[in-house]
Each structure stands twice: as structure tokens, then as C-alpha cells.
Amino acid sequence: MIPQSHFLILSALLFSIGVFGILTRKNAIGILMSIELILNAANINLITFGKFLGSPDGLGQIFALFVIAIAAASAVVGLGLVISIYRNAKTILVNKLNLMKW
């Protein structure tokens, strides 16, 4: 049996890789991809606790399902925003997007 802490370490690694991606990417799509990585790390945590703490009605898996649904909605809206930004500013590099900067 694989101990619980190994799953949690895996999820912590994925989370920190996602944070690194958000902080260093210049492309807006890259930032969205890093956000997906972070949401997946959260999902692994939820399912791990659902399995090892043993909730009777599968609460961990149900929460993970909700997280997947919300991640899909957020990815759709985020990518729609990226396309809209590209149409107006002709770039999606976040350091070039200083339209609203003073």
C-alpha cells in the first residue's frame, strides 16, 4: 500500500510547479495552463483524503468532480478572454498588455 504522504508530496510538487509557471510565464495561455496544473494538484489532495479518511458517501470524489467542472468553466472563460484580448491588442504576452496601466 502506498502511504498517504506520498500522494500529498506528489500533489505539493505539482502545486509548486504550477506556482513557478504562473510567476515566470509571459504568455497568457501558459499562465492558464499552470492554473490547470494547480487545480489538478488540489484534486489529487481531495481524492487522497477521501480515500484515506474514508467518508462513506464519496465526498472527496464528489468534490473533485465539482473542481473539474469549475476548472472547465474557468478555462473556457479564460481562453475566451485571451482571444478577445488578442483581437484588441494583437498580443497575448502579459508584459506587453499595459493598456490599463497608468
Partner 1 sequence: MSGLIQVLNNSLLSQDAVIKATFYPTAFLTIFFAFLVVMSRSIFHSVIYLAFTLIGIAGIYLYLDAEFLAIVQVLIYVGAIVTLFIFTIMLTTQADTEPIRGTVRRMWAGALAGFAIFLILSKVITMTTWHIGLPEAAFVNLRELGRSLMSKYALPFEVISLISLAALVGVIVIGRGRKR
Gyration radius (Cα) of the chain, Å:
17
- Report residue 85 as a C-alpha cell: 484580448
Question: Residue 28, Cβ neighbours under 10 Å: how many?
Answer: 19
Q: Which of 35, 42, 50, 102 binds partner 1 (CB under 8 A)?
A: 50
- 26 Cβ partners below 8 Å, 6+ apart? 93, 94, 95
Q: Would you say 56 or 101 has its CB closer to partner 1?
A: 56
Decide: is 89 part of the binding site for partner 1 (CB under 8 A). Answer: no
Count Cβ atoms within 10 A of the Cβ of residue 9 and give its class: 0-12 exposed, 13-18 middle, 19 or more buried: exposed
Q: Would you say 87 or 101 has its CB closer to partner 1?
A: 87
Decide: is 44 part of the binding site for partner 1 (CB under 8 A). Answer: yes
Decide: is 1 part of the binding site for partner 1 (CB under 8 A). Answer: yes
Decide: is 69 part of the binding site for partner 1 (CB under 8 A). Answer: yes
The minimum distance between CB 67 and partner 1, in angstroms, equals: 10
Decide: is 99 part of the binding site for partner 1 (CB under 8 A). Answer: no
